Amino acid sequence: MLAKKTTKNQLRLPKAIVSRFAGVEYFDITTDGRAIVLRPLEVSRAEAVRERLSQMGIVERDVADAVAWARRKR
């Protein structure tokens, strides 16, 4: 299979390859000087937690306030 480089330096990957990585949005790219290697990156657990907090309307300041409250001496 071939991948074509566009005038904007983007690679167009064959559909047969891309379909094997359904749901993957990001790839880690490395090279040894002769070959390009693409490795799929999955959403990390931390990123999933951040997304859920965002959906709940919890912002970074809310977390900082909660930590400060929990650390308060009583």
Condensed to tens digits (0 to 9), the pLDDT of residues 40-56 reads 987 677 888 888 899 99
Structural contact between residues 31 and 37, judged by C-beta atoms closer than 8 angstroms = yes
* Strands 4-5, 26-31: pairing kind: unpaired
Q: How many domains does the chain have?
A: 2
Looking at the fold, whether 37 and 47 belong to one and the same domain comes out as: no
> 13 lies in which domain range?
4-41
pLDDT number for residue 73:
80
Structural contact between residues 9 and 15, judged by C-beta atoms closer than 8 angstroms = no
Between 73 and 39, the more confident residue is: 39
pLDDT number for residue 47:
80
Residue 20 has pLDDT above 80, yes or no: yes
Structural contact between residues 1 and 15, judged by C-beta atoms closer than 8 angstroms = no
Q: What is the mean pLDDT of residues 7-20?
A: 92
Look at residues 69, 66, 71, 70 and name the one whose alpha carbon lies nearest to residue 56: 66
Looking at the fold, whether 47 and 68 belong to one and the same domain comes out as: yes
